Amino acid sequence: MEEDIFGDSRIKPTSFYSAERDKTKLNWFCYELALSFELEIMQNLEKQLRRRRIHEADIAEFSIYFAKEMKTILLQQLSGEIKMIYFPHDRVEAYFPLLSDRLVEKILDAIAEAWDKQLSVCEICPIRCVSEKDRYCTLFDDGPY
């Protein structure tokens, strides 16, 4: 499924593992999440961001960064440290310090939309990336992407 939608993405699975032991289902979830972030941001904000000299490569790198940030937040929620998932405004501001608050909010809206869409796919997916988060994920080995 990702190949049709994300075939030309700059985001690759290798951004989410550095060793064989890192090929976990949770890291695969983060890879798919980054693709979703990238797609949603590109569809909704590409022109506005391009005017601010933020291009496709920047959006892809940001999507990878933010998906990894969300992994930390998800793990906190799963361990009971926090009650609800949140999308940190300050992380977007830190990555894109010259953006207005309004555009940061639009990015966060796109991220929230991507998160909801991704979770709706995860609900019916048999891989169970979150509930079996530490298990090895063969999808990393199935390429090409």
pLDDT tens per residue across span 27-80: 999 999 999 999 999 999 999 999 999 999 999 999 999 999 999 999 999 899
Average confidence score pLDDT of the chain: 91
Overall number of domains in the chain = 1
Residue 92 within a domain? yes
What is the per-residue pLDDT for 25?
Answer: 95
Residue 129 within a domain? no
What is the per-residue pLDDT for 23?
Answer: 96
What is the per-residue pLDDT for 18?
Answer: 93
pTM, two decimals, is 0.89
What is the per-residue pLDDT for 52?
Answer: 95
Residue 120 within a domain? yes
Q: pLDDT over 70 for what percent of the chain?
A: 92
Q: How far is CA 136 from CA 41, 56, 102, 121, 132, in A?
A: 30, 31, 40, 20, 9
* CB half-sphere exposure, 15, CA atoms < 13 A: 21
Residue 8 within a domain? no
What is the per-residue pLDDT for 5?
Answer: 41
Nearest to 116 by CA among 81, 90, 85, 92: 85
Residue 19 within a domain? no
pLDDT above 70: residue 8: no
What is the per-residue pLDDT for 42?
Answer: 96
Place of tokens 């022109």: 47
Residue 20 within a domain? no
Could you tell me the residue range of the domain that residue 77 belongs to?
27-124
Residue 46 within a domain? yes
Residue 67 within a domain? yes
